[in-house]
């Protein structure tokens, strides 16, 4: 007997959160939030593309699996469908005041070995990434840093030959909201709304550990570098690979082109003064490449890792199209 089922967790940023604390935290303004997800997901994972284009989530964790059982309930084969994985929604926001953009990207999917017992197969999957919505917070040095948190969810699916599949969400990030759609397309789980803006909430959002390891670990930095390199190569570099390098604290990031912060904090300098501190996910250099300004000189406030795409390797028409799309997403408002 073959049993198959799918579950989807969508992670989304409510408008109320942006209105209360995110929007007020940026001198340049921020208006990119998500429309509430649908109460049902008719069509299952295949319907996610419409939700993504409608800006209703940041990341979707799709767990789709199957198991075959003998007549006595003994599992004899199991696995995940090709549809299992992560879907990233639109997540680029712009801060015109400092010529910076923040782009989201997915991190590698994490999967544990299936737990196989008589009469059941238990499958799990952790998926997510760094959202493009940065949070302004005060650093230990008394300055302000803009950093996008890591958003993730862990889904679990229990398959049985003699009953309906069971869907659970063993764990998830404190930010943002998470809705889980079961095999029938109905919302079966919702995360508890966080106490947005509290000290406890901020500590959870920027906790030192993620499912991929410490936020400052080499393994996580390598995973981020691979994700960003692929994103840049596919998006604006025509398949070319950006250069990833470490920048010591106090050193300026040299070279004209695009600069993406992978790890650490950069200060964006203008006319001899630092105007902003930008964390992982920030993209700098668009204005100069598109002829919209002279750009700015980023300098590492802490040890940092960056991805650099020289100006000659950037396909400016693609970059312009992406920048215009990001601007449209920012100003779309609640009506899309």
Query: Is 80 exceeded by the pLDDT of residue 110?
Result: yes
Query: Is 50 exceeded by the pLDDT of residue 328?
Result: no
Taking the C-alpha atoms of residue 156 and residue 153, their distance in angstroms, rounded to an integer, is: 10
Q: Kindly indicate the confidence band of residue 197, based on its pLDDT and cuts at 50, 70 and 90.
A: low
Mean pLDDT of 138-162: 84
pLDDT digits (tens, 9 = 90+) for 24-34: 544 444 445 66
Q: What's the mean per-residue pLDDT of the chain?
A: 79
* CB burial string 105-143: b at 16+ within 10 A, e below: bbbbeeeeebeeeeebbbbbbbbbbbbbbbbbbeeeeee
Specify the pTM. 0.82
Taking the C-alpha atoms of residue 85 and residue 61, their distance in angstroms, rounded to an integer, is: 6
């Amino acid at each position: 007997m073959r049993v198959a089922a799918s579950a989807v967790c969508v992670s989304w940023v409510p408008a109320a959160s942006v209105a209360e604390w995110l929007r007020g935290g940026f001198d340049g303004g921020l208006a990119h939030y998500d429309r509430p997800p649908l109460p049902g997901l008719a069509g299952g994972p295949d319907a996610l593309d419409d939700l993504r284009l409608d800006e209703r989530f940041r990341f979707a964790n799709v767990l789709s699996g199957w198991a075959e059982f003998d007549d006595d309930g003994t599992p004899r084969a199991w696995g995940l469908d090709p549809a299992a994985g992560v879907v990233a929604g639109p997540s680029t926001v712009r801060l015109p005041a400092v010529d910076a953009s923040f782009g989201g990207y997915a991190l590698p999917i994490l999967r544990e070995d299936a737990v196989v017992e008589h009469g059941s197969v238990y499958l799990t999957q952790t998926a997510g990434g760094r959202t493009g919505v940065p949070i302004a917070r005060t650093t230990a040095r008394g300055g302000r840093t803009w950093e996008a948190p890591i958003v993730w969810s862990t889904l679990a699916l229990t398959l049985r030959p003699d009953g309906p599949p069971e869907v659970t969400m063993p764990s998830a990030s404190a930010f943002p909201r998470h809705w889980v759609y079961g095999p029938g397309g109905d919302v079966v789980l919702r995360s508890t709304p966080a106490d947005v803006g509290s000290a406890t909430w901020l500590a959870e959002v920027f906790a030192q550990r993620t499912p991929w390891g410490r936020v400052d670990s080499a393994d996580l930095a390598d995973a981020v570098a691979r994700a960003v390199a692929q994103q840049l190569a596919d998006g604006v570099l025509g398949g070319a690979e950006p250069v990833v390098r470490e920048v010591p604290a106090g050193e300026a990031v040299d070279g004209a082109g695009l600069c993406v912060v992978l790890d650490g904090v950069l200060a964006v300098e203008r006319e001899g003064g630092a105007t902003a501190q930008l964390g992982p996910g920030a993209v700098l250099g668009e204005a100069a490449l598109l002829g919209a300004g002279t750009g700015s000189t980023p300098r590492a406030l802490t040890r940092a890792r960056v991805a650099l795409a020289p100006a000659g390797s950037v396909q400016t028409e693609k970059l312009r199209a992406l920048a215009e799309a990001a601007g449209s997403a920012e100003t779309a408002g609640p009506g899309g």
